[in-house]
Amino acid sequence: MTVPSSELANTKACYLEFNTPNRQTHFIESAFYLRDDGTLSAQSKGNFASPYASLRFEHHADYSDTPLKPKYTPPKLTASPKKHPVIGTIWGMRFKHLPPKTIQHPSYRMPGQIAAVLQQHTLARLSIEDIHQTIVEICDLLISSVPNNSLPQYADDQPDKRSERTARRHFKAHMGLSPKPFAGLNRFHKALSDITRTNTSLIDIAYDHEFADQAHFSRDFREKTGHTPAQFRRIWRKTETVRFLQDYENKPTLRLGIVAT
pLDDT at 92 over 90: yes
pLDDT value for 160 = 56
Helix residue ranges, H only, 83-161: 101-104, 110-119, 128-144
> CB of 23 within 8 A of CB of 261?
no
- Under DSSP, the state recorded for 53 is E
Lowest mean pLDDT among 17-26, 29-38, 65-74: 65-74
Q: Within 13 Å, how many C-alpha atoms sit on residue 200's CB side?
A: 18
Distance from C-alpha of 47 to C-alpha of 35, rounded to nearest angstrom: 16
SS3 65: coil
Instruction: Compare 118 and 16 and report the one with higher pLDDT.
Output: 16
Angstrom distances, CA of residue 154 to CA of 160, 161, 216? 11, 14, 35
What does pTM read for this prediction?
0.83
* Cα angle for residues 36, 89, 81 (degrees, 5° grid): 70
Q: What is the mean pLDDT of residues 214-233?
A: 91
pLDDT value for 30 = 94
Q: Is the dihedral of CA 121, 122, 128, 130 positive or negative?
A: negative
Share of the chain above pLDDT 90, in %: 34
pLDDT value for 157 = 46
Instruction: Compare 123 and 127 and report the one with higher pLDDT.
Output: 127
Helix residue ranges, H only, 105-199: 110-119, 128-144, 164-175, 179-197
What letters, b where the CB count within 10 A reaches 16 and e where it falls short, cover 85-99? ebebbbbbbbbbbbb
Distance from C-alpha of 100 to C-alpha of 142, rounded to nearest angstrom: 11
Q: What is the mean pLDDT of residues 175-196?
A: 91
Q: What is the mean pLDDT of residues 103-117?
A: 86
pLDDT value for 12 = 80
Distance from C-alpha of 114 to C-alpha of 138, rounded to nearest angstrom: 6
Q: What is the mean pLDDT of residues 65-87?
A: 84
